[in-house]
Structure formats: C-alpha cells, structure tokens
Amino acid sequence: MKENVERCGATAVMVEDAWGSAVDPHKVEEALMAHPDAKVLAFVHAETSTGAQSDARTLARLAHEHDCLVIADTVTSLGGSELRVDDWGLDAVYSGSQKCLSCTPGLSPVTFSERALEAIKNRKHKVQSWFLDLNLVLGYWGGEGKRSYHHTAPINALYGLHEALVILREEGIEQSWARHAKNHQALRAGIEAMGLAFIVKEGERLPQLNTVTIPEGVDDARVRARLLEEYSLEIGAGLGALAGKVWRIGLMGFASSRKNVLFCLGALDAVLGDLGAPIQRGVAVEAANRVYAG
C-alpha cells in the first residue's frame, strides 16, 4: 500500500504496530488528528504474514469522522471471517480469488461505495495508469448499449470465480465464517495441547491463517521439508520479522476442514516427536476431536 501511494505521487503516513498485532485504533486516531489533510485511510483487514485481524468497523468509523475514504485489503478475510462492507462503511475494498474463495489465482474482486465512486468520477487529473483508470473500467461495465471497450476479460477465470461464489452461496456466508472459526478452534486446541503457542493474542487471531511458534531448538526448514516429503503437507514459513520464529498454517476455503486439521496435527506430532522436539506427544488429535465433539 505504501509503495502504491508513493508511486501515485501522494504521501504515506504510516501507523505501525508490532508484527502479530492488530492495528491500534488509538494510534490511527492520533495520526488522523495530526494530519487533517489526509484523504484516505488504507489498512489490511486480515494480515496473511502474521495471522492478525484488525477491527475494520472501528477503523472505518474513525476515517469517516475525519473525512477520509477507506481502502480495505480483504484478500485473506473474504469468505473466511466476518466482513460487512456496507454495514461497516468500507469505501474501496479489494480481495483475491485464491484464498478463502478457493478459486484459481489471478482475479481481484473489488467493490466501491457511492462515496468512492463520487471521488473517482470527480477527478481533476487523469489516472497515471491507463489500465487502472477506474473511470474507464466503469465505462466497460456500464451495461449493454453503453459499454466502452477497455480490455478483453479473462472469461475462463471469471467463470471459475462465479462457480466458487455459487459454492459459497450454497453453504451460506455466515456458515462459512462459522466453519473457519470451528476448525481454527480445533487446530488451536491441538497446537496448545502439544505445548506450542500462537503469537497473535486471542481476539485478534485469524481463523484461516494460524501463526504458531517454533519450539526451541527445532530446525524450521527441516520440519517443513519433512512434512512436504513424507506427508505432502506444506505449511508456510515466517516472513519478515517472524522468519525462523513461526510457522503459518492456512485453513482457507475448501481446505478448512476437520480432515485437514486432524491430518496436520498428526503429521506435526509425528515429525516433531521424531526430531526430539520438546512437545507433548500423542495428545493433539484427541484435543482437536474434543472440540468437534463439543
């Protein structure tokens, strides 16, 4: 986001928190008060690198109180955790097709509020990127008889996204949120029974992206390599400040299932136990099953 802001010729005022923490609304409010000329508040709703989820509703309220539009990155949250674009007053929202929608990568669903559309339509200067000029894109999607050519749409990818959305609609969006939450709770029970911990505090954790601390003395890369080679199971490495300190376990979309939770816990138990890691062996799957039974 910072890179895009600067490439557009604007000034980015950063509000930073420790990796693994949600955005602090108090810091945001202080920044908005210190910069009354700010026009946009942009934030990531669900942070894939750390597994932290921020309070989008509160952040949007603060932005509007200070006459700012809201840009929200919902790449990881759409379909996996509660997201209410209109109710929360999110103005420009983008996501991705490949995460909790379980579609092929390559598409970015977007939506704009009336406030955002008004700002787009009343620009005084042309957008520096022809391809990303939303006035042109809006003309392309303007309806039969009024459409202007902008690009050739990726039809096959759009049909794939349509089918993914049909599947989500059949399940129900709130049921999907509940499924992701339940599987996270089961994974958490197993992880904590083993003696491992999460870096994100309770209440800010993403159900679909779980960052788990690596036990003392355990070789991060070796564990991930064995999981992949012996179980065809791939978990993510830590990024940035968390590199070598955590594993990132995704439970997104179709992959968020009881079968995958129990399989992951069993494989972790076996590999870590074989490597002599300081964990409680043979208890993770049972702990997860108690959550499902309860």
pLDDT digits (tens, 9 = 90+) for 236-254: 999 998 999 999 999 999 9
Helices (H), the chain: 2-7, 25-34, 56-65, 85-88, 114-121, 134-140, 155-171, 173-194, 220-231, 258-274, 284-293
The pLDDT, as a whole number, for residue 142 is: 77
The pLDDT, as a whole number, for residue 143 is: 64
Question: At the topology level of CATH, where does 2-94+108-153 sit?
Answer: Aspartate Aminotransferase; domain 2 (3.40.640)
Query: Residues 51-76: pLDDT tens digits?
Result: 999 999 999 999 999 999 999 999 99
Q: Where are the domains of the chain?
A: 2-94+108-153, 174-293
Instruction: Report the CATH number of the 174-293 domain.
Output: 3.90.1150.10
pLDDT tens, per residue, the chain with 294 residues: 999 999 989 999 999 999 999 999 999 999 999 999 999 999 999 999 999 999 999 999 999 999 999 999 999 999 999 999 999 999 999 999 999 999 999 999 999 999 999 999 999 998 888 988 999 998 888 766 777 888 898 999 999 999 999 999 999 999 999 999 999 999 999 999 999 999 999 999 999 999 999 998 999 999 999 999 999 999 999 999 899 999 999 999 999 999 999 999 999 999 999 999 999 999 999 999 999 998
Query: Residues 153-186: pLDDT tens digits?
Result: 899 999 999 999 999 999 999 999 999 999 999 9
Contacts made by residues 216-223, CB under 8 angstroms, sequence distance 24+? 216/278, 217/277, 217/278, 218/272, 218/275, 218/277, 219/275, 220/244, 220/247, 222/275, 223/247, 223/271, 223/272, 223/275
